[in-house]
């Protein structure tokens, strides 16, 4: 079995490689060549932690495995560790033998950012100039860096429940040579693309905060009960997702479906847009919304890429198992 430790990931996986891996696996999912297993996600009753498993099988890429991990909300303050902790395990689909164990923390950040970035590429207006950020935590910096590569953005506007964290994303904007402005939530009406990346259980972004023609990427809702945007926004938008089953059960669409504002059939796979079987955006005044729930196949795709690179560079550690 091969081991690729967390410390090696930053030197192996680029944003471009993560983007390509995620775009490819979304397309495979929509084509029926890859599928995710049901998600297990539980509050373990210790350290307020959420722990779970996401897995799947990509028959096209012959990638089989799972990601184990979750969210420990007190890690940063107590232990100076990031709150999200995970490890990816890959298995040989021909034999079931354990193939690789890969540090999953940075990979999770990169693949989550890649997913919203893929949605911007395929759904946002080509002339989008202003990007709005709701959330300014660790993951928000990854989201913004990846998003800024998809359009010629001229300005970043940002809001966070804790305004003192906004310099995190302001720094990213400055590094990219893009202007930054802190706004109230109603100021998001000025965004052409809005990314919401919070762990909220009550909506921040309301339907009247979103102008016609905007693309919204909701990236924080991955558990039953979480909610980042008002359900009425999904009723106004063309809704796309990584996986429909997750979107309506643990993703942003769960609330709009429960309230009867949209139906399961109103939610489309982003992979179908990538494959050309769904037209995606059809007008400049259409609101598009991507519900990024985070699927196991994303993790497996980026982990498999990392293992190949680690072997190529002689970094992978081989152990008997």
> Which of 54, 67, 99, 226 is an active site residue?
67
pLDDT at 223 over 90: no
Binned at pLDDT 50, 70 and 90, residue 39 comes out as confident
Residue 290 makes CB contacts below 8 A (sequence gap 6+) with 115, 116, 119, 123, 215, 216, 217, 218, 240, 241, 270
Provide the CB-side half-sphere exposure for 58 (13 A, CA).
Answer: 26
User: H/E element holding 23?
Assistant: helix 15-30
pLDDT score at 279: 98
In the predicted model, what is the mean pLDDT of the chain?
96
pLDDT at 321 over 80: no
Tell me the DSSP string of 28-80.
HHHTTSEEEPPPEEEE-SSTT-EEEEEEEEETTTTEEEEEEEEE-TTHHHHHS
pLDDT score at 12: 94
Annotated active-site residue 67? The verdict is: yes
**pLDDT for 117-126, tens place per residue?**
999 999 999 9
**What is this structure's pTM?**
0.94
**pLDDT for 240-298, tens place per residue?**
999 999 999 999 999 999 999 999 999 999 999 999 999 999 999 999 999 999 999 99
pLDDT score at 65: 98
Residue range 166-189: mean pLDDT, rounded: 98
pLDDT at 116 over 80: yes
pLDDT score at 41: 86
Residue 171 makes CB contacts below 8 A (sequence gap 6+) with 141
Residue range 113-133: mean pLDDT, rounded: 98
């Amino acid at each position: 079995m091969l081991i690729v430790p967390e410390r090696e990931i930053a030197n192996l996986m680029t944003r471009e490689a993560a983007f390509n891996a995620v775009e490819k696996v979304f397309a495979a999912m929509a084509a029926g060549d890859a599928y995710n297993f049901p998600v297990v996600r539980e509050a373990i009753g210790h350290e307020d932690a959420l722990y779970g498993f996401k897995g799947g099988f990509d028959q096209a890429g012959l990638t089989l495995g799972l990601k184990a991990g979750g969210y420990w909300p007190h890690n940063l303050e107590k232990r100076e560790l990031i709150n999200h902790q995970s490890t990816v395990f890959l298995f040989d689909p021909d034999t079931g033998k354990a193939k690789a164990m890969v540090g999953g923390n940075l990979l999770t950040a990169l693949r989550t950012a890649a997913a919203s970035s893929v949605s911007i590429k395929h759904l946002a207006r080509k002339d989008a100039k202003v990007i709005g950020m709701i959330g300014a935590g660790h993951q928000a910096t990854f989201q913004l860096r990846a998003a800024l590569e998809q359009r010629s953005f001229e300005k970043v506007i940002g809001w966070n429940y804790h305004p003192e964290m906004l310099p995190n994303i302001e720094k990213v904007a400055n590094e990219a040579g893009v202007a930054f402005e802190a706004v109230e939530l109603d100021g998001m009406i000025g965004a052409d693309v809005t990314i919401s990346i919070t762990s909220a259980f009550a909506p921040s972004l309301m339907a009247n905060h979103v102008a016609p023609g905007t693309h919204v990427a909701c990236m924080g809702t991955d558990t039953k009960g979480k909610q980042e945007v008002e359900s009425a926004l999904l009723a106004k938008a063309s809704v796309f997702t990584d996986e429909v089953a997750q979107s309506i059960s643990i993703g942003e669409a769960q609330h709009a479906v429960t309230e009867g504002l949209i139906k399961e059939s109103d939610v489309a796979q982003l992979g179908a847009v990538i494959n050309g079987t769904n037209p995606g955006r059809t007008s400049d005044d259409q609101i598009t919304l991507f519900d990024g729930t985070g699927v196991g196949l994303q993790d497996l795709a980026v982990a498999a890429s990392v293992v190949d690179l680690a072997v190529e560079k002689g970094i992978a550690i081989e152990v008997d198992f």
